[in-house]
């Protein structure tokens, strides 16, 4: 299971925590008398680098809370804090869930792929600003389902033009923290322009709706618009002080470059 130390039983499972003494004060729920593993561990995969992985612990949350309570009621907090491995996650004594940081704080999306989704990262912090892990899964709510939906794992998908606020909420040991992100979703325009006054395409990336047109305006320096993605329209040959337009009938991301100037490149996203 993700987030579980190899020498440690699953949270809520009975089994030995290899290398660690049995924890006193835990409810003896097993007929075999073996102790609970007290610690849901954050592994390299489930640690601070990937705080959304706290979702993985959703099903063990209640049992985990029972463990924590048992430890506070007379267990060995040091054992619990150090854990039976290298993770050390869970709520230490005195830690109170205080803030929930949701990033990105704003998401500018298109109503159609590509670019119509964003994945939220949720970081829980205590009253001292220290990151807390292993707290279970945040709940997500959304005030405008016509604009966006949000999945259990925090993936936002835009559905229509407008603005929505997505709120993440997490409760641990009776303390609830929330955080929000503002989603703005737009319909891609039917036309876009790219300038090349010198040795760069500006903007480097443009967005058009499916069937839309992009026009390149080339200045005093010779350039090409040479597409490198499958399904692209015909490339624009070397031109100077001229413009060229291409229609994009297919959805997708189409990269291009100037065949004369290495490093001069851009892309068209067709939604």
- 225 near Cu ion, judged by CB under 5 A: no
Hey, what are 43's tokens? Answer: 């592994």
Stretch of 133-141, 155-163, 187-195, 217-225 contacting Cu ion, by CB under 5 A: 217-225
Q: Length of the chain, please?
A: 271
Assess 218 for contact with Cu ion (CB under 5 A).
no
Site string (169-188) toward Cu ion, x via CB under 5 A: --------------------
Question: Does 242 participate in binding Cu ion (rule CB under 5 A)?
Answer: no
Pick the binder of Cu ion from 36, 223, 246, 269 (CB under 5 A). 223
Q: Which two tokens stand for residue 28?
A: 């003896």
Beta strands in 43-174 (DSSP E): 97-103, 106-110, 117-119, 121-126, 131-132, 139-142, 148-150, 155-158, 162-172
- Report if residue 36 touches Cu ion, rule: CB under 5 A: no
Count of residues of this chain found to bind Cu ion when the rule CB under 5 A is applied: 5
Task: Please choose, out of 9-17, 20-28, 115-123, 218-226, the segment that lies near Cu ion by the rule CB under 5 A.
Answer: 218-226
Which of 156, 164, 258, 270 is in the footprint of Cu ion by CB under 5 A? 258
What is the token pair recorded at 49? 């680098």
Angstrom distances, CA of residue 113 to CA of 41, 116, 254: 36, 5, 13
The sign of the CA dihedral 74, 79, 85, 90 is positive
Question: How many Cβ atoms from other residues are within 10 Å of residue 156's Cβ?
Answer: 24
Q: Is 261 in the site for Cu ion (CB under 5 A)?
A: yes
The residue among 98 and 226 lying less far from Cu ion, judged by its C-beta, is 226
For binding to Cu ion (CB under 5 A), which residues are involved?
223, 258, 260-261, 264
């Amino acid at each position: 299971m993700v987030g579980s130390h190899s020498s440690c039983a699953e949270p809520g499972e009975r089994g030995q925590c290899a290398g660690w003494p049995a924890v006193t004060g835990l409810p003896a729920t097993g007929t075999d008398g073996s102790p609970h593993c007290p610690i849901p561990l954050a592994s390299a995969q489930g640690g601070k680098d990937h705080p959304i992985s706290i979702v993985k612990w959703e099903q063990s949350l209640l049992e985990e809370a029972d463990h924590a309570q048992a430890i506070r009621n007379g267990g060995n907090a040091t054992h619990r804090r150090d854990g039976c491995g290298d993770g050390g996650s869970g709520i230490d004594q005195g830690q109170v869930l205080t803030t929930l940081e949701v990033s990105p704080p704003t998401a500018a999306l298109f109503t159609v792929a590509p670019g119509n989704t964003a994945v939220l990262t949720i970081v829980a912090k205590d009253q001292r600003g220290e990151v807390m892990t292993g707290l279970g899964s945040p709940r997500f709510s959304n005030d405008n389902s016509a604009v966006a939906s949000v999945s259990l794992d925090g993936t936002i998908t835009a559905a229509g033009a407008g603005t929505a606020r997505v709120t993440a909420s997490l409760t641990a040991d009776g303390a609830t923290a929330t955080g929000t992100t503002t989603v703005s979703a737009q319909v891609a325009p039917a036309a876009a322009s790219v300038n090349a006054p010198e040795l760069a395409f500006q903007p480097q990336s443009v967005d058009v709706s499916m069937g839309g047109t992009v026009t390149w305006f080339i200045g005093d320096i010779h350039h090409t618009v040479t597409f490198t993605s499958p399904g692209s329209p015909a490339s624009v040959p070397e031109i100077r002080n001229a413009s060229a337009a291409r229609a994009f009938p297919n959805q997708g991301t189409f990269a291009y470059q100037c065949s004369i100037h290495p490093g001069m490149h851009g892309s068209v996203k067709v939604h």
